A and B are shown apart, each in its own frame.
Chain A
Amino acid sequence: MSTETVHHTALTLADHLPALQVLVTFVAAPLIVLLGSRRLAWPITFIASAVSLVIAALLLSQVLDGSVISYHMGGWAPPLGIEYRVDAANAFVLVLVTAISTVVLPFARVSVESEVPKRHHVLFYTSFLLCLTGLLGVTITGDAFNVFVFLEISSLSTYVLIAQGAERDKRALTASYDYLIMGTIGATFFVIGLGFLYMATGTLNMADIAERIADQGSNRTIRAAFAFIVVGIALKVAMYPLHRWLPNAYTFAPSAITAFLAATATKVAVYVLLRFMFSIFQPAFLFEVNTLEFIILPFALVAMFAASFIAIFQSDFKRMLAYSSVAQIGYILLGIAFLTETGLTAAIVHLFNHGITKAALFMAVGAYVFAARGSFYDDIQGLGRRLPWTSGAVVIGGLSLIGVPGTAGFVSKWVLVQGALDKGWWPVAMLIVASSLLAVIYVWRVIEVLYMRPVLTDREIRSVPAMMLVPIWIAALSCIWFGLNTDMTLNAAQAAARGLLAGTTGMH
């Protein structure tokens, strides 16, 4: 740690990038409220998000060579002060989150206009920015308690955003309430875990905790902390038996919010899970307690099948995608459960690939809701020819969801199967392929509805504006781009996986 430069003594703006990453959106949020102008709300949100994307890209370019940026908040050196810590793994997540929000926002402008009452727009974009701030903060901070604070900032604004769907369907309110209860229980479990960690180690800085755990080995307090933290974060990840909040929340939230949350919120939670499992608790510790093999692995497999199976029988496109999200999170957790470099690489790549796939699909759902005023299969039937661009993106996203070669989904599933075979777990590899067949069924149902059914003549279909189509196609084309050009994602994920498996040494 002594080799790192102390950044706060430098006075250039570039040295403060880690702080600006969180501050730009955080300051823009109250600014919108103070200005109180509906016309200015969206441009300010978009600019703040775009600036964050630039900052995240700059940070990533600084750490791609494997170095670590340690930023001392307010000039207080860790472990006493709060430290922001950027390495390859979280810079990657920062870019994903800011990129998705910047792509979704132009889409949101039209979609929100038609789904959320006008008097809520200013506060809507404020909540959006706060949610983004929270997600970025969770990702960038190197202080364990700071993770909790930012997690709650993002969660609280998420509850507000989901409830905004009440204009279309009043069940958004109960969905938001359910998520509030479960999310708060999860966050409180997480805090209890942190309390135990603090009892055992006397520090809150992640690198410092890791060092002290390595020194004292595992004991009952640390094992209890591990259990509480994993359960708490698993609720946020929507790990299979703790996923009950997700389908309703995703179904009834405004379309733009569903696209944003599906691509970022659960992914950031997965990142936190990885960070705590591998950087704070050691991989050796994970082997010892066997949690991964006996708890996460079976639940991941159950998620892949049960959720896919439920998705097949839905009659609402949006709800079908929500259940498919639960199944896809199963793949990510499966990769983590392998506890090998290939497995972790698969998990991190899938985290990214599934993020862009679901962003494209949920935005397409939003376009259907805009055009046909509904996302049920009978609302959207026959729209394949009426809305060729939107439906084309659905086909690409659907193929990526199945994992057809040439799309992003294929890359991650391929690495995942490889990981299973490396471990000699061929039944698991068979199950991955089998559950992909279930994905074929539910994606095929949508494509059949879109292209092989007649349009209901009594329905008025609005055309989808370019402001929606461009973001949808950016996401859809990136599904293909990252399916053909795998070097970038695979290399970044491999570097991150290697760093995580190195345990504490990865923190230095």
Chain B
Amino acid sequence: MDNFTWAFIVGHMNYWLFIVLMMTGLYIVVAKGNLVKKIVGLNIFQTAVFMLYISMGKVAGGTAPIFPIDMNIDPDVLYSNPLPHVLILTAIVVGVATTSLGLALIVRIREEYGTIEEDGLLKIEKEIARQEAYLHDEEIGEQAQ
């Protein structure tokens, strides 16, 4: 516990925020019954990861990683690491694609089931499964006798 000091807590602020945000997102995905809210939770969860990556590219005292136009680079200037930012650009695109596909699926689910609440969907599916079992299992059972 010795190194668990105030400086440690403040110095790792980005990680604390990452954990809080990530857990918030994951909790929403698991706990909410509304399909759209689940997608929102998923977005928060992914955004937390974007934050983790972006904060890890920061170099203390570093400036934006843009070279001057004449390419006369001053060796004393400290630059932040641009690589994690570029990676996250890709991850953001993936996130947008996932969100749009998820929402499109929700539209189709609503068209077919008439609800986007998990409880309602489960009830409808249980009913379908029950009828299916009645239809298919009974027939097999009768002939076995």
Contacts and interface: CB of A to CB of B under 8 A. Distances in A.
Interface of A: 145, 148-149, 152, 156, 159-160, 163, 166, 170-171, 173-174, 176-177, 180-181, 184-185, 187-188, 191-192, 195, 198-199, 204, 315-316, 376-379, 381, 449, 453-454
A173 B98 contact: no
A173 B29 contact: no
Interface stretch (B5-13, B62-70, B72-80, B104-112): B104-112
Interface of B: 26, 29, 35, 38, 42, 45-46, 49, 52-53, 56, 83-84, 87, 90-91, 94, 97-98, 101-102, 105-106, 108-109, 112-113, 121, 125, 128, 132-133, 135-137, 139-140, 143
7 contacts: A166-B112, A181-B29, A187-B94, A188-B49, A195-B56, A315-B137, A376-B132
Given A152-B94, A376-B136, A377-B140, A166 B52 contact: no
Given A176-B105, A192-B49, A181 B56 contact: no
Contacts of A181: 29, 38, 42, 102
A418 B69 CA distance: 66
B29 A185 contact: yes
A159 B140 CA distance: 33
Contacts of A315: 133, 136-137, 140
Contacts of B132: 376
A378 B101 contact: no
Q: Which of the listed residues A160, A174, A376 has the most CB atoms from chain B within 10 Å of its own CB?
A: A174
By Cβ-Cβ distance, the 3 closest A-B pairs, closest first, are A170-B112, A376-B136, A378-B139
Contacts of B97: 152, 156
Given A156-B94, A174-B109, A181-B102, 20 more contacts: A149-B94, A152-B97, A156-B97, A160-B101, A163-B108, A166-B108, A173-B112, A174-B113, A177-B106, A180-B98, A181-B38, A184-B42, A184-B98, A185-B26, A185-B29, A185-B45, A188-B49, A377-B136, A378-B136, A381-B140
Contact of A199 (B42, B56, B108): B56
Contacts of B42: 181, 184-185
B90 A180 contact: no
Q: Which secondary structure dominates where chain B touches chain A?
A: helix
Contacts of B94: 149, 152, 156, 187
A470 B4 CA distance: 67
Contact of B105 (A152, A173, A377): A173
Contacts of A316: 136
Q: Which secondary structure dominates where chain A touches chain B?
A: helix
Contacts of A166: 108, 112
A177 B35 contact: yes
Contacts of A376: 132, 136
Nearest to A170: B112
Nearest to A157: B101
A454 B139 CA distance: 12
A437 to B, nearest CB: 22
Given A149-B90, A181-B42, A188-B46, A195 B53 contact: yes
B125 A174 contact: yes
B8 to A, nearest CB: 14
Contact of A171 (B26, B102, B125, B136): B125
A177 B109 contact: yes
A180 B35 CA distance: 12
A198 B102 contact: no
Contacts of A159: 101, 105
Nearest to A176: B105
Contacts of B140: 315, 377-378, 381, 449
Nearest to A187: B94
A145 B87 contact: yes
B87 A453 contact: no
Contacts of A152: 94, 97-98
A154 to B, nearest CB: 12
Given A166-B108, A166-B112, A378-B140, A180 B49 contact: no
Contacts of B125: 171, 174
